[in-house]
Structure 1
């Protein structure tokens, strides 16, 4: 059994043994549990508490607290039995350590949630790449950023991008799609147009970067064109070849003279701005997919503390923010305004509970154990009141 499942069982066992522990777990939500039966049971325990279950005022805790919780949870999930509830009780070493067990559950939920959002972003980016679109990828990037902000506040920290000490190894990319050759063709066509129409470099140089090209060799050629344009020197296939040689691209094998001649020798006419936007669009989806893979790799590293994971993930998303801003500039769209801090931050008591998760709550008296009910008549009535 995984440590996360063990922690979830310990939290539930602690609350079944001592209902007062719920007051120390206000920052924990049913959705933070990985198993449906655990989510339903934690929600049921909160419902009983909110409805004023008699067990809250009784010592020792009556058996009705357990049976009624099982009954309430069984209305929303199948497979929960009283026997499993008693297994949960046995899984809790100390009820007073419920906040610590809750911290473990929240840690697991943060890793799991970030993984799920990263997978959705990657799927959206791949789908947009096939469609030649970017909207779904950008939408899911916003959703992931919002989720990171929410999780940071639940954990009790401020979200801020922090570079990892060692760059994470991204998960391997998916196989190249049928559009990969179309993207390469767009890049070759754009470079040919820029060589044939040097003045067109000014139409794209403000927002198109060498890193936006899928083929690194194409990106280096674009860098050479940009350098010639910046210095005000003539642009043609001869000056471009000389600039490539000056930058060592011929010596290190990045390019060959024959490749450059084949690329720029035929001459082309077309709209550099339109082609640049196509290259930019593929750059957005490619960057989104790469960011999603790296965030997922971070989230699947259980050794990363939640605060580190959230801040590293925000840092990994920065290249996508840069590409997105340039994409919007290319399309004449204003960049989105920075979001104001959310006013609905958790109450100070909840923040303190999240930050001081290791602080044990007040120790319950030894007598606070589940005691048998005196008679069946005294067991069932409470469940009718909160069924």
Structure 2
């Protein structure tokens, strides 16, 4: 007779098993419930270091209550009843049965410091993941009035988390993460392509602006052809060569841009429609580059945290390397948006008043009396 599926049983089958840190938390809590005096050797963690609300409530209750006398604790469950009552304020589903099962699960109460260190490591992973996700969310939030500033502030908060983890787990040599970094997101943003075309045409019309935009690089362009044309413009201005659509086309030919399928007439038409300010278009492109870089860094760090084989040391090293990419584009953004320093007028040396001295003319000759 065919088996009739049980909806409840089938739903339970889809629940993933708890991660290893769940069992580590059970072992630590069991050790502290069995031998409360071992709490003094547990450092580096707090209630929010635990992965479940029930475990967090139990740890908070254990820390809030005075440790019982070991001899009395071995005779009765009075202290355990106090822990259960205090923890139920935050986790009503806890029971005396679960507390006793935690005691039975703990293999070695003397290993409590090692269990705490494991919990600290996994909590660091969750903190890093949450900070990376905040950076990604902020970088994509178009409703923010100061999107770049807010994203960079979240990046600073992410850096602070990395530094704190490095203090707790100092990195050592040879601890690079083995996690493959996600490839950069490829977006076909027509608005970005239009702004790049306007920048190239306006900069060709006003080549003096190219030298003032050293903060913009070919990596800030979303279209490879546009990035190559920007390299042509910067090369011509650096060599003090004439700049116009024809000279840019000639430079593009030498750089192999026409081999990619771009037609000469197409490039001439692209460079012949200037509009607005090249610096303004460049700032918009650089802004998009800052946000895109921040989002990609968040994805990389999130990928590190999702790899269960990555140690805290590897998370620190990998995260710092990723954040270095944002530091570079951030510096260029500050150069682009900072007002130019006011030039002070050159100081002129005041002419000092002549000092009094002996007369420069000889005194009249004395008259000889006869």
Q: Give unmatched runs, 5+ long, in structure 1.
A: 335-387
2:57 maps to what in 1?
40
Question: In the alignment, does 2:304 pair up with 1:298?
Answer: yes
1:176: how far off? Answer: 5.0
1:270 alignment partner, SS class: coil
2:153 to 139, 142, 161: 139
| Larger CA Rg, structure 1 vs 2 | 2
2:208 is equivalent to residue 199 of structure 1:
yes
1:76-114 deviation digits (Å, cap 9, x = unpaired)? 222111111112112211111112222221221121111
The number of equivalent residue pairs is: 323
3-state secondary structure, aligned to 2:94: coil
1:168 aligns with 2:168: no
- Name the SS for the 2:252 alignment partner: helix
Q: SS at the partner of 1:224?
A: helix
Would the aligned equivalents of 1:13 and 1:91 in 2 still touch at CA under 8 Å? yes
Match of 1:3 among 5, 17, 20: 20
Shift in alpha-carbon separation, 1:132–1:190, aligned structure 2, 3 A: farther
Q: Pick from 32, 45, 63: which aligns with 1:15?
A: 32
Q: 1:41-190 maps to which residues of 2 (within 5 A)?
A: 41-48=58-65, 52-55=66-69, 58=72, 60=74, 62-128=76-142, 133-155=147-169, 157=170, 164=176, 168-170=180-182, 173=185, 180-190=189-199
Q: Is the deviation greater in 291-300 or in 58-67? A: 58-67
| Counterpart contact for 1:161–1:311, Cα < 8 Å | no
Partners of 2:177 and 2:310 within 8 A in 1: no
Larger mean CA deviation between 126-135 and 82-91 belongs to: 126-135
The aligned counterpart of 2:45 is: 28
The CA distance in 1 between the partners of 2:143 and 2:332, in whole Å, is 18
Q: Aligned equivalents of 1:303 and 1:333: distance in 2? A: 47
Query: Does the 8 Å CA contact 1:40/1:76 hold for their aligned counterparts?
Result: yes
Write out aligned runs for 1:144-293 (5 A). Answer: 144-155=158-169, 157=170, 164=176, 168-170=180-182, 173=185, 180-204=189-213, 206-251=214-259, 253=260, 255-264=262-271, 266-293=272-299
Query: Does structure 2 retain, via aligned residues, the 8 Å contact 1:18–1:61?
Result: no
SS in 2 for 1:317: helix
Q: Shift in Å at residue 75 of structure 1?
A: 1.7
Deviation at 1:142, TM superposition (A): 0.9
CA distance in 2 between counterparts of 1:176 and 1:148 reads 29
Whether the 8 Å CA contact 2:177–2:304 is kept in 1: the answer is: no
Local SS of the residue matching 2:338:
coil
Q: Alpha-carbon deviations, 1:133-157, whole Å to 9, x = none? A: 31221111111111111122233x2
Given the superposition, is the C-alpha separation of residues 259 and 133 from structure 1 closer, same or farther in structure 2, using an over 3 Å criterion? farther
CA distance in 2, matches of 1:290, 1:258: 36
Give per-residue Cα distances to partners, 1:264-289, cap 9 Å, x unaligned.
1x331421111111111111111111
1:254 and 1:280, CA in 2 relative to 1: closer, same or farther beyond 3 A? farther
Could you tell me whether the CA contact under 8 Å between 1:194 and 1:201 is conserved in 2?
A: yes
- Give the structure-1-normalised TM-score: 0.77
Point out the more displaced range, 35-44 or 229-238. Answer: 229-238
Q: Equivalents in 2 of 1:257, 1:145: separation in Å?
A: 47
Residue 60 of structure 1, CA deviation: 3.1
CA distance in 1, matches of 2:263, 2:69: 81
Instruction: Provide the aligned C-alpha RMSD in A.
Output: 2.6
Please give the TM-score of this superposition, normalised by the length of structure 2. 0.80
Structure 2: which 5+ residue stretches go unaligned? 1-17, 341-370
SS at match of 2:157: helix
User: In 2, Cα distance between the equivalents of 1:161 and 1:127?
Assistant: 38
Is the alpha carbon distance of 1:255 and 1:301 closer, same or farther for their aligned partners in structure 2, counting shifts above 3 Å? farther
What is residue 324 of structure 2 aligned with on the other side?
A: 318
Cα distance change, pair 57–125 in 1 and its aligned pair in 2 (3 A): farther
Residues 255/102 of structure 1: CA separation in 2 closer, same or farther (3 Å cut): farther
